[in-house]
Amino acid sequence: MKKRLLKISIVFIFLFIIGVFFAGLNKSYIYNTKNLVGEKINIDLNDFYNNEEINEQSLKNFNFTLVNFWASWCGPCRTEHDYLLKLNQETNINLLGVNFKDNRNSALKFLKELGDPYDILAKDSLGKQSVNFGVYGIPESILIDKDLIVVKKFIGPLSENDFNFILNKIKK
Cβ atoms of residues 100 and 72 within 8 Å? no
Q: How confident is the prediction along the chain (172 residues), in pLDDT tens digits per residue?
A: 777 877 788 878 888 888 777 777 766 554 555 577 878 888 888 889 998 888 887 787 788 999 999 999 999 999 999 999 999 998 889 999 999 999 999 999 999 999 999 999 999 988 888 888 888 789 999 999 988 889 999 999 999 999 999 999 988 7
Strand 150-155 and strand 44-47: the pairing is unpaired
Rounded Cα distance, 68 and 106, in Å: 17
CATH T-level assignment (fold) for domain 33-170: Glutaredoxin (3.40.30)
Rounded Cα distance, 127 and 137, in Å: 10
* pLDDT confidence of residue 34: 58
Phi, psi of 18 (to 5 degrees): -60, -45
Domain boundaries, the chain: 33-170
Q: What is the CA radius of gyration of the chain?
A: 21
* pLDDT confidence of residue 11: 79
Rounded Cα distance, 17 and 32, in Å: 24
Q: What is the pTM of this model?
A: 0.79
